[in-house]
Amino acid sequence: MTTLTQDIGTGEFVVDLARGMRELVRESAAESEQNRTLAPVVVEAMWANGLMSAFNPADAGGVEPTFAQMIETWIEMAWQDGSFGWVGIANLPSAFAAATYLPDDGFAEVFTANDNHVTMGGQFFPNGQGVAVEGGYRLTGSWSFGSGTGHAEYVAAGFMPMVDGEIRWASEGVPDMLVAVVPRADVTFADGWHVQGLKGTGSYDYAVDDVFVPHHRTFALFTREPKRGSSPATRMGMMPVTAAGHAAWALGVAKSMLDDVAELAATKYRMSDMAALASRPTFQKGLAHHVAAWRAARLLVLDAFSTAESAVAAGAELTPVHRADMRVAAVFATDTARECAEWAHLVAGTSAIREGSRLERAFRDIYTGTQHAFISEKVAIDAAQVWLGIVEDQFGL
Q: Does 7 reside within a domain?
A: no
Are 169 and 300 within one domain?
A: no
Are 180 and 275 within one domain?
A: no
Are 62 and 205 within one domain?
A: no
Assign residue 61 the CATH number of its domain: 1.10.540.10
Using the 8-state DSSP alphabet, how is residue 349 labeled? G
pLDDT at 192: 80
Instruction: pLDDT band for 10, please (50, 70, 90 cuts).
Output: very low
Are 172 and 291 within one domain?
A: no
Q: Does 329 reside within a domain?
A: yes
The last residue of one of the domains, among 49, 69, 101, is 101
Mean pLDDT for the stretch of residues 341-370 = 92
Helix axes 281-313, 320-348, angle to 10 degrees: 160
The pLDDT > 70 percentage for the chain reads: 95
pLDDT at 80: 98
Q: Does 347 reside within a domain?
A: yes
Instruction: pLDDT band for 5, please (50, 70, 90 cuts).
Output: very low
Are 58 and 138 within one domain?
A: no
Q: Does 37 reside within a domain?
A: yes
Residue 123 pairs with which residues in a beta bridge?
157
pTM, to two decimals? 0.94
Q: Which residue has the higher pLDDT, 361 or 8?
A: 361
Listed residue (201, 205, 208) closest to 190, CA to CA? 205
Mean pLDDT for the stretch of residues 16-43 = 96
Whole-number CA gyration radius for the chain:
21
Mean pLDDT for the stretch of residues 85-100 = 98
Q: Give the model confidence (pLDDT) of 124-145 as tens digits.
A: 999 999 999 999 999 999 999 9
Is the pLDDT confidence value at 4 over 70? no
Instruction: pLDDT band for 356, please (50, 70, 90 cuts).
Output: confident
Mean pLDDT for the stretch of residues 258-274 = 80
Assign residue 280 the CATH number of its domain: 1.20.140.10
pLDDT at 274: 65
Are 57 and 193 within one domain?
A: no
Q: Is 169 helix (H, G, I), strand (E, B) or coil?
A: strand
Instruction: pLDDT band for 6, please (50, 70, 90 cuts).
Output: very low
Q: Does 366 reside within a domain?
A: yes
| Residue 271, Cβ density class (10 Å: 0-12 exposed, 13-18 middle, ≥19 buried) | exposed
pLDDT at 13: 84
pLDDT at 9: 38
Q: Does 318 reside within a domain?
A: yes
**DSSP secondary structure string, 190-238?**
E-----SS-GGG--EEEEEEEEEEEGGGEEETT----SS--SGGGGT-H
Mean pLDDT of the chain: 93
Q: Give the model confidence (pLDDT) of 145-202 as tens digits.
A: 999 999 999 999 999 999 988 888 878 778 899 999 999 999 999 978 899 999 999 9
CA distance 202 to 287: 34
pLDDT at 188: 97
CA distance 203 to 217: 22
Instruction: pLDDT band for 239, please (50, 70, 90 cuts).
Output: very high
Q: Does 19 reside within a domain?
A: yes
Are 40 and 88 within one domain?
A: yes
Domains contained in the chain, number: 3
Is the pLDDT confidence value at 8 over 60? no
pLDDT at 350: 86
Are 241 and 377 within one domain?
A: yes
pLDDT at 158: 97
CA distance 113 to 151: 19
pLDDT at 214: 98
The last residue of one of the domains, among 37, 71, 101, is 101
Q: Kind and range of the H or E element at 350? A: none
Residue 365 pairs with which residues in a beta bridge?
none
Q: Give the model confidence (pLDDT) of 41-53 as tens digits.
A: 999 999 999 999 9
Q: Detail the DSSP E strand segments found in the chain.
A: 120-133, 136-146, 154-163, 166-167, 169-171, 174-175, 178-183, 188-190, 204-214, 218-220
Are 202 and 75 within one domain?
A: no
Are 201 and 57 within one domain?
A: no
Q: Kind and range of the H or E element at 392? A: none
Residue 190 pairs with which residues in a beta bridge?
205
Q: Does 133 reside within a domain?
A: yes
Are 359 and 294 within one domain?
A: yes
Assign residue 129 the CATH number of its domain: 2.40.110.10
pLDDT at 168: 87
CA distance 175 to 169: 4
Are 242 and 383 within one domain?
A: yes
Range of the domain at 141: 120-220
pLDDT at 169: 87
